[in-house]
């Protein structure tokens, strides 16, 4: 018997087995990994943006100068004693030249005055010498007379009164001769003293004049040199700039004196402590550097312009606490790749990651 099929009916298909939902599971794992990447690290670490800083060494002149020529550029490496700029100051040069002329004129006046004093002292010494010669002749004459009277007195030819008078006169003449000799000696010593003072004052005046002339030449065109070896930062871009005394023309950055200045938000600062170990990631260096929290600045500060990326990071909306982090174990290659003002990112571990979180973050 043949069965009729009902018009419009659909044949029943055999039941099929539903596939395993791999796509949903992978999507769930991806969402979980992203959530772990976003929410797990802030719980276990504290992060902040930072900059590479350093104790800079200034290069400055001691007086007001004009920059005539720059011999180095920013970021150039210099060595200690290397010339970095040529400066001049015509106002200071004119002052030193005037001082040189005044010193020269004073030297001439002093030389004339001292020469006159020496001449007067020598004339007095010659006068004292003549008096000594006269006193010496008188003493010799009176001594010879006394010797004759003494011989006659012994023979009874003259009286004792006459003999005593000649003896007293001879003794007085000898005393006058001795006094004249001493006066002549003092006058000679005075000549030597005045001559030595004259020579010393003339030499001192010449030295002052020479120093003034040398300073005039130096200020006319002087080379500034680098006091230490390092990299030039904060340089003046244009020559012909006038710098006030002790105003730095350059700063020199020494990588061995570099440190990290990190900017933490105040709500995260409670998790930051002195001597904590820090992982530092510096732009341009492929591996993290080891650091240590050295100090926490007491005042709030704005975020530097090179780290300000979003509008809410401006100073009118938020401020940060700077934290100084010292670097340790830098290799020679690290110091070569470390430059001033480089952006960095620091992270401080405050809890140990569980094993599953570590494996999950590694997979991500």
Per-residue confidence (pLDDT) for residue 218, from 0 to 100: 59
pTM of the model: 0.54
Question: Which three-class secondary structure state does DSSP give residue 234?
Answer: coil
267: left (phi over 0), alpha (psi -120 to 50) or beta: alpha
**Rounded Cα gap, residues 219 and 214, in angstroms:** 9
* Residues in a beta bridge with 10: none
Q: What is the pLDDT of residues 2-48, one digit of tens each?
A: 445 445 555 545 555 666 677 777 777 777 667 656 555 555 788 89
58 C-beta neighbours (distance < 10 Å), count: 13
> Residue 244: how many CB atoms within 10 A of its CB?
10
The residue extents of the domains of the chain are: 44-54+256-363, 58-90+222-251, 91-218
Determine the pLDDT at residue 264.
92
Q: Is 8 left (phi over 0), alpha (psi -120 to 50) or beta?
A: left
Name the burial class of residue 46, with classes exposed (0-12), middle (13-18) and buried (19+) by CB atoms within 10 angstroms of its CB: buried
The Cβ of residue 5 has, within 10 Å, a number of other Cβ atoms equal to: 7
Report, at the CATH architecture level, how domain 91-218 is classified: Orthogonal Bundle (1.10)
Other C-beta atoms lying within 10 Å of the C-beta of residue 347: 17
- Concatenate the DSSP letters of all residues of 67-86 into one string: EEEE---TT-EE-TT-EEEE
Output the CATH code of domain 58-90+222-251.
2.40.50.100
Domain covering 44-54+256-363, topology: Elongation Factor Tu (Ef-tu); domain 3 (2.40.30)
Angle between helices 90-155 and 160-220 (to 10 degrees): 170
Blockwise average pLDDT, block size 10, the chain, 364 residues: 50 58 74 63 78 92 80 89 82 59 64 73 81 82 81 78 81 82 82 77 69 59 86 73 81 93 89 92 91 92 82 70 92 89 90 50 47
| DSSP string computed for 6-62 | PTT--PPPPP-PPPP-HHHHHHHHHHHHHHHHHHHHHHHEEEEEEEEEE--EEEE-S
């Amino acid at each position: 018997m043949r069965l009729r099929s009902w018009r419009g009916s659909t044949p029943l298909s055999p039941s099929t087995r539903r596939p395993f939902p791999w796509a949903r599971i992978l999507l769930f794992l991806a969402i979980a990994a992203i959530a772990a990447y976003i929410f797990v690290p802030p719980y276990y670490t504290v992060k902040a943006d930072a900059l590479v800083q350093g104790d800079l060494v200034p290069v400055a002149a001691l007086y007001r100068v004009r920059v005539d020529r720059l011999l180095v550029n920013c970021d150039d490496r210099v060595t200690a004693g290397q010339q970095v700029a040529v400066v001049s100051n015509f106002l200071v040069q004119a002052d030193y030249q005037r001082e040189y002329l005044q010193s020269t004129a004073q030297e001439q006046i002093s030389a004339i005055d001292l020469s006159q004093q020496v001449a007067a002292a020598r004339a007095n010494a010659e006068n004292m010498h003549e008096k000594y010669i006269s006193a010496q002749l008188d003493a010799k004459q009176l001594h010879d007379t006394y010797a004759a009277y003494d011989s006659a007195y012994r023979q009874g030819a003259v009286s004792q009164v006459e003999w005593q008078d000649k003896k007293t006169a001879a003794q007085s003449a000898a005393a006058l001769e001795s006094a004249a000799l001493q006066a002549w000696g003092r006058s000679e010593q005075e000549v030597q003293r005045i001559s030595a003072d004259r020579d010393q004052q003339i030499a001192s005046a010449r030295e002052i004049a020479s120093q003034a002339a040398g300073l005039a030449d130096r200020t006319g065109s002087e080379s500034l040199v680098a006091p230490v070896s390092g990299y030039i930062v904060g340089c003046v871009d244009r020559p012909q700039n006038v710098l006030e005394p002790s105003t730095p023309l350059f700063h020199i950055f020494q990588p061995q004196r570099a440190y990290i200045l990190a900017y933490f938000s105040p709500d995260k600062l409670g998790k930051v402590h002195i001597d904590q170990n820090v992982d530092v990631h510096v732009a341009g260096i492929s591996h993290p550097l080891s650091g240590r929290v050295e100090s926490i600045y007491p005042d709030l500060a704005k975020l530097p312009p090179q780290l300000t990326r979003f509008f809410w990071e401006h100073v009118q909306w938020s401020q940060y606490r700077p934290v100084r982090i010292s670097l340790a174990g830098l290799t020679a290659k690290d110091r070569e790749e470390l430059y001033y003002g480089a952006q960095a990112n620091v992270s401080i571990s405050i809890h140990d990651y569980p094993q599953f979180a570590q494996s999950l973050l590694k997979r991500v």
